[in-house]
Amino acid sequence: MLTLWQRLSNLIFPFSCPFVFVTPVRPELEKIPRTPPDLPLEIWLEIFQFATYVHQNITIKPLDPFTPKHTTTNAMGANTPSLAMRTKLALVLVSKPWRRVAVQMLYEHIVIRSPARANVILQTLECSQPHQSSEVQEAKALGYGQWTRHIEVYTFSRGSGDIRYLQTLFKIFRLCPNLRMLSGRWLHNLPIEFLNGLSGLLGPSLSGLYWNEQNTALHQNATTGPAFLASFRSLRVLDLRHFIGSDPSSWPQSEPKPTLPLLQDLILSTHPRSLEVATMLCMPSLRNLTLRTPILDDESQELLKAFLIVHGQRLVTVDLPTPSADSEPDPDNAFLRRIAAHLNPDILLAPDVCPNLETLTFPVTSPPITSHIHPNLRRIGIRGANVDGLYPDKISSTRDHLMAINTDKYPRLEWIQTVGFLVEAHSDSLIKDVFIWWVERFEAMGVTLVDGEGVMWAYYPELVQEEAVLGRTGNGSLTTMLKPSSGNSKEQIQDNNKLKDEID
């Protein structure tokens, strides 16, 4: 048929160019779909979890500020909850083996935003339950709820204050026996029956709790208190940034105090109620504190000092994020964060306040630290550093903070990191030399300085040695190359200095 059409076109258009009509020279080869490699399902699970990982979906524990960050090379950027959910939905549709692996990630994190969505989630979890009458078979197959580890509850939609919505939520919690993280944002007062049922159901097993009762429109007390929080005795992480609770005058002042025996990570804010309820709790295993600063006034500072009197001796790590009215709406270098009121790190470094403190992270816009001596401080993280602030000949808060850090104040200091600042991500031609200047300054004290990527920058000693053999360049200076080296590179820099002295 194709040959007939070509002959007919030659008769109709005898003088036409043969390249006008595009015809295939040979039939296209049929594309054979590539089958995925034959890997064990455990390996596929690791791959899928890496491709869909979102930190806030897995845990409410804040990310360690000293975690190395890298320059994004992916055009799509970092994972977001919506992108991760799309990937999970696509994975369960590929094949039956992939579905068996990916379905546990699909229901690992459940977000309940409205009563209508709660009803759909409840129906899905109930339909996945086994219908066999044998108890052994039911124990082996618990439905999709067995994979759920984190549930987020929102009450912004219409009907969220209805008791039927709370009943649906409680049924969902009962169908998730392995639930470990609960994040609740409550705009309405919760009945005491719901709170008692929640603490009775999740109290023995829940390891992370975020309880948000803050409502700027209605300044009223809630029905929760320290006793309700202490009913979750297995908690390891507790977020009380937006906790309101009942009237503090109604809290029992007698001993023993409500106790959370296993709690290690505490997230607070400078809101009065957040500090007051944390002071009332007994937390013998507390180690890490993240303190956000949405507001800062005299009352907040006095309450913070009272909190440190009770719990300061147990703190090992303290993180002071850049001030923000919300959790994290802007980056650390946002202008509004820089002009907000900052908490002075000296409150934590004062004598006998936090004697066991080993790690302190604070924003570069904080007030300058004074001459308090802390014998146990090992690591310091500085947030919000920028290129201009690192130049030693320019007046800036970054330079003032770095100049104020020395081993006379902190004799056990080992590590300094510019949290979030990546040397390689900046186009300033001198930033690498400037950063190396600071590295060498702290290296003389026996302290390691790294950027946000966890890299200690240094001049590449092998290239310096090569230039020593070949001689100087035409302009009379050494041509050096910058290379990131590992955190333990003191020997390289010492060899580099020796080679420089020999050349000179």
Per-residue HEC secondary structure of 190-220 comes to CCHHHHHHHHHHHCCCCCEEEEECCCCCCCC
pLDDT at 132: 55
pLDDT at 117: 95
End-to-end alpha carbon distance in the chain? 84
Distance from C-alpha of 457 to C-alpha of 450, rounded to nearest angstrom: 7
Residue 311 token pair: 């719990």
Residue 444 in contact with residue 410, Cβ under 8 Å?
no
**Phi and psi dihedrals of 112, rounded to 5?**
-110, 110
Express each pLDDT in 166-190 by its tens digit.
Answer: 999 999 999 999 999 999 999 888 9
pLDDT at 502: 45
Beta bridge partners of residue 150, listed in sequence order? 109, 181
Ranges of H-type helices in 22-130? 41-51, 55-58, 81-91, 96-106, 115-127
Q: Is the preceding omega at residue 294 within 30 degrees of 0, hence cis? A: no
Residue 342 token pair: 């900052």
The DSSP 8-state label assigned to residue 356 in this structure reads T
pTM of the complete model = 0.80
The helix (H) or strand (E) run that includes residue 155 is none
Residue 300 in contact with residue 276, Cβ under 8 Å?
no
Distance from C-alpha of 126 to C-alpha of 243, rounded to nearest angstrom: 33
pLDDT at 486: 41
Please choose, from the candidates 424, 355, 354, 413, the residue with its C-alpha nearest in 3D space to the C-alpha of residue 387.
424
Integer angstrom CA distances of residue 47 from 44, 173, 248, 273: 5, 29, 49, 43
Please choose, from the candidates 59, 173, 49, the residue with its C-alpha nearest in 3D space to the C-alpha of residue 106.
49
The distance of Cα 239 from the centroid of its chain, to the nearest Å, equals 14
Side chain identity at residue 478, one-letter code = L
Going residue by residue through the chain, which has 504 residues, state the pLDDT in tens, using 9 for 90 and above. Answer: 556 666 666 666 665 565 555 555 555 556 676 777 778 888 988 988 888 988 888 999 999 999 988 877 665 667 888 889 999 999 999 888 889 889 989 999 999 999 999 999 999 999 988 765 544 444 445 789 999 999 999 998 898 889 999 999 999 999 999 999 999 999 888 999 999 999 999 999 999 999 998 764 444 677 888 999 999 999 999 999 999 888 888 887 777 889 999 999 999 999 999 999 999 999 999 999 999 988 778 888 899 999 999 999 999 999 998 876 554 444 555 555 556 678 889 899 988 899 999 999 999 988 888 888 899 999 999 998 888 889 988 888 899 999 999 999 999 999 999 998 888 888 888 888 999 999 999 999 999 999 988 888 888 765 544 444 444 433 333 333 344 444 444 444 444 444 444 434
Residue 261 in contact with residue 234, Cβ under 8 Å?
no
Cα–Cα–Cα angle for 146, 150, 154, rounded to 5 degrees: 125
The helix (H) or strand (E) run that includes residue 331 is none
Residues in the chain, total: 504
Check residue 116 and give left, alpha or beta (phi > 0: left; psi -120 to 50: alpha).
Answer: alpha
Please choose, from the candidates 160, 123, 117, 157, the residue with its C-alpha nearest in 3D space to the C-alpha of residue 143.
123
